[in-house]
Structure 1
C-alpha cells in the first residue's frame, strides 16, 4: 500500500491532469446535450355499462390480457396522426412515436403514457393529446363478444403537467461523476506511469554501474 501511495505522490500531476480532462469532458457533454422534459398521464382501462357480475369478471380479465397490446396502439398512427394534426407539429408520426412511451404493470389495467420534448409545455400538451386520442380510439378495439358485455373505455386518472426540471442527469451530477471517475482513472494512470519509469531507470542504473 505504501508503494502505491509513494507512486501517487511522485505522479500527482498525472492524477490532476486526468481529473481536469474528465471534468472538462463532463462540462462539454452537459453543454452540448439538449435538455428534454418528460410529462406523464395516467389512464384506467375498463369495461363500462356491464350487465352482470359474470360479464364484469370476464371483461376485467379480457382488459388485463390486452393491456400490453394497448401499449402499441398508443404509438400507432391512429393515435399519433390526430395529435400531429391537432397540435400542428412539423414531425412525422414515426418521429412523434419515438418520443412516446406507454407502460403497464402485470395484472393491472392502469397505463402510464410518457412523452418527451425540448419544451416542458409541449411535452405536456403532446401527452394529454395522446391520452385523449387513445381514449377516443379504444372503444373500437373491443371484440364483438366484449361489446356484448359492455363498453371498453379509458378514463384519464391523472393528466400530464409541465415538468419543472429536465430529464436525465443534471450538470452537477455529471461534474461529480467526472471528478470521481477522473480521480480513479488518474490514480491508475499515475501508478502505471511510475512503474514504467522504474523499468526504464533500472537498465540505465545497470549501465552506469558497469
Structure 2
C-alpha cells in the first residue's frame, strides 16, 4: 500500500481511527486520575578531604574524593543507611522498602552526590531525603575513620581512646525542600502518549483491515481487477430502497449516473451495438435489478423503445418495482400458455415490461431453452433495446445458461461488498460460455463533492417524469 492509498484508506475508515483515539485518550486520562501522585525530594552532598594547605595535598585530596565518590553513591540505598532512618522517622515500611524509594548518583568528574527520594506525601519525601543525607554522612565518615589495632574500649564510651578524624567530610550543599508538584503521574505526557498511541493503533487497524479486506472499493480498482471497462459508477443513495426509480427523482446524482451509464453503453460498442443486454451480478444484494430497471428507464427517457424482461425466476422483483401484475409473464410464454404481446405490460410511452410470471420448478432449464432464444429474438424485432434482468451468477446456474442467448452482458459490482475473487470468478463464468461482457457497473459507490457537481440545477432544470398508476397496466412512467 503506497502513501496515497494509505491516506485514502484513512479517510475512508476515519471512524476506526476516531474510536481508537477516543479509547486511548480515555485510557490515558483514567490512568492519570487513578494513579496515586508521587512526589520527589532531592538533596545534594559535597565530598571533601581533610588536608593541609599544601597545593599538592589539595590536588591529591581532590583526586581521592573523585575516586571514592562513585562508591559512596552505591552506599546510599543500603540497609545500613535506611534502617536508622526508618527508626528515627517511625516510618511504616521496612528498610528494604525505603531503599527502593531512594536513588543516588554521582556525576562524573565531580565530588557531588545527588540523593533523590520518592514518596506519596510531599513533606515526608523531604524529611526522608534530609534524614538519609544525614545518616549517609555519618556512615561514610565512620567507614573512612582509621581504626586502631588491638583497641579494647569503644570509641563512644567515656574515657575511651581518642579516635583519629575521618579523612573525608560530607556537607549538604542543597537540603531537600517540600516538592510542590508531583513527578507522577504527568497529565500532559500521558495525554500526549494517549493521542499518539490512539493514532498509531487506529492507523495499524486501518492497514490491517485494508490488507485483509479484499472487496472492491473504487471503480478504478474494479477495472484493474477484471480488465473490463467501467461503464458507470452509481452513487449510494439511502433513499433508493424507498424510491428505486431514479428517473422519478429528476436531476439527482443517482439519476444522472444512470444517464451517464446509458451514454457510455451507447458509445462503447459503436461498430457492433448489442440489442439484447443482460444485467447480472456475482451475488444477491448488489443492485443488479435496480440497475436494469433504471437503465431501461434511462433508455426510454432518451427516446429508445425499450423492453425490460425479468429473467430472475427465483426472486423476481421487476413487476413489484413498477406496481405491475406479477402472475403473467415470461414463464407463461415459455410454456406456451400465452403469447408475448398478451402478457406485455406498459410502464411508459417507450418502456414495456415482461414480468417473470409464475415461479417455475425448473428455472435453469427454461432460461437455457430454445424457446427462450426465440422469445428474445421476437422482442429484438419489436424493440430497439431489450434489457434482461437475471439471477446472480455464483449462487445458481440460471444466468450461465441464459448468457449465450443474449448479445452482451453488464456485470454489476457493489462497492465495498463484492470481493475481487468473486468478481473475477463471475467474469470468468461469463467468458467460459462465450458471453460478451460489455463492461462493469460500480454500484453504491461512495459520493464526494467532486462527483456531485453541487446541484445539477446549474445546467438547467429538466422536468421530472410524471408517474401515474393505470388500473390494468400498473405504474406508468410518462415522459
TM-score by length of 2: 0.41
Give me the whole-angstrom Cα distance separating, in 2, the residues matched to 1:73 and 1:28: 38
Higher helix share: 1
* Residue 192 of structure 1: aligned partner: 208
CA RMSD in angstroms comes to 2.3
**Structure 1: 5+ residue stretches without partners:** none
* Residue 374 of structure 2: aligned partner: none
Q: 1:143 to 1:149 in 2, by over 3 A?
A: closer
**Structure 1 segment 98-177 matched on structure 2, within 5 A:** 98-142=100-144, 144=146, 151-177=167-193
Say whether the 8 Å CA contact 2:36–2:185 is kept in structure 1.
no
Number of aligned residues = 208
Question: Residue 118 of structure 2 aligns to a residue in which SS?
Answer: strand
Give me the whole-angstrom Cα distance separating, in 1, the residues matched to 2:64 and 2:145: 10
Say whether the 8 Å CA contact 1:104–1:112 is kept in structure 2.
yes
Runs of 4+ in 1 over 6 A off after TM superposition: 147-150
1:84-137 C-alpha deviation (Å, 9 max, x unpaired): 011100111111011001110122111110000001111111000011112222
Give me the whole-angstrom Cα distance separating, in 1, the residues matched to 2:70 and 2:193: 37
* Residue 422 of structure 2: aligned partner: 204
Give me the whole-angstrom Cα distance separating, in 1, the residues matched to 2:170 and 2:143: 12
Give me the whole-angstrom Cα distance separating, in 1, the residues matched to 2:169 and 2:69: 12
Say whether the 8 Å CA contact 2:104–2:116 is kept in structure 1.
yes
Give me the whole-angstrom Cα distance separating, in 2, the residues matched to 1:8 and 1:193: 11
1:21-54 C-alpha deviation (Å, 9 max, x unpaired): 2112212322332221111001101123x23424
Q: 1:91 to 1:169 in 2, by over 3 A?
A: closer
TM-score by length of 1: 0.88
Give me the whole-angstrom Cα distance separating, in 1, the residues matched to 2:8 and 2:47: 66
Quote how far apart the aligned CAs of 1:19 are: 1.1
Say whether the 8 Å CA contact 1:11–1:194 is kept in structure 2.
no
Q: Which moved more, 1:93-102 or 1:171-180?
A: 171-180
Say whether the 8 Å CA contact 1:51–1:149 is kept in structure 2.
no
Quote how far apart the aligned CAs of 1:5 are: 2.5
Quote how far apart the aligned CAs of 1:60 are: 2.2
Q: Higher relative contact order at CA 8 Å, sep ≥6: structure 1 or structure 2?
A: 1
